[in-house]
């Protein structure tokens, strides 16, 4: 019985350690900094090249890490568009779903005054194909393309469950 109790305690401690903690105040400040950096084309936070991203394009280190993220990087596609990625580990899928909602709500607080609103979309790379985007509220694609956007989703099949935050620079600079 004692062995079972010790094993269970170590399992709980391991689960808590695996799931990063997000400091809400720092996270909100990080989102504000990332939004501003994206608006400027990430030139203030893009560092040296560090290989290739999971999608096979150039990957760069980022000078700004979001509170609670286990990994951050910026990738640059063939058209020179830059995208910031932050990955967050969760202990289980239900915890990941709750964490996504919490992260989006905090990001909404920061970006709503910039005209960004929550929209739901789909992405085959995410659990349940669910993606939440914060983007400029307009039906005019030309106007929307002048603002950064943020997307959140749980990477399909990841173990432990991995939440992905993506910050896109404006399409039209």
For 84-94, b/e burial (b = at least 16 CB within 10 A) is: bbbbbbbbeee
Global pTM? Answer: 0.86
pLDDT digits (tens, 9 = 90+) for 101-143: 999 999 999 999 999 999 999 999 999 999 999 999 988 888 8
Neighbours of 22 (CB within 10 A): 18
Prior bond of 19 cis (ω within 30°):
no
- pLDDT reading at 165 higher than 50: yes
Q: Write down the number of H helices and E strands in the chain.
A: 4, 8
pLDDT(7) > 60: no
Q: Which residues contact 168 (CB under 8 A, 6 or more apart)?
A: 38, 81, 83, 84, 148, 149, 150, 151
Cα–Cα distance for residue pair 8/134, rounded to 1 Å: 40
Q: Reduced to 3 states, what is the DSSP secondary structure of residue 145?
A: coil
Burial zone of 100 (CB within 10 Å; 0-12 exposed, 13-18 middle, 19+ buried): buried
Tens of pLDDT, residues 21-46: 899 999 999 999 999 999 999 999 99
Question: What count of residues does the chain have?
Answer: 173
pLDDT, position 20:
67
């Amino acid at each position: 019985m004692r062995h079972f109790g010790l094993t269970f305690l170590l399992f709980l401690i391991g689960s808590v350690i695996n799931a990063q903690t997000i400091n809400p105040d720092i996270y909100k400040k990080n989102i504000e900094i990332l939004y501003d950096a994206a608006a400027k084309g990430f030139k203030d936070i893009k560092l040296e090249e560090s290989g290739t991203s999971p999608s096979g394009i150039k990957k760069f280190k980022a000078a700004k890490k979001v509170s609670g993220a286990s990994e951050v990087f910026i990738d640059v596609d063939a058209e020179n568009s830059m995208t910031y990625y932050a990955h967050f580990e969760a202990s289980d899928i239900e915890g990941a779903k709750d964490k996504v909602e919490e992260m989006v709500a905090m990001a909404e607080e920061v970006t709503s005054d910039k005209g960004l609103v929550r929209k739901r979309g789909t992405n085959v790379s995410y659990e349940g194909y669910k993606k939440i985007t914060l983007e400029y509220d307009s039906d005019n694609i030309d106007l929307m393309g002048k603002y950064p956007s943020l997307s959140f989703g749980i990477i399909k099949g990841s173990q432990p469950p991995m939440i992905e935050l993506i910050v896109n620079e404006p399409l039209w600079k």
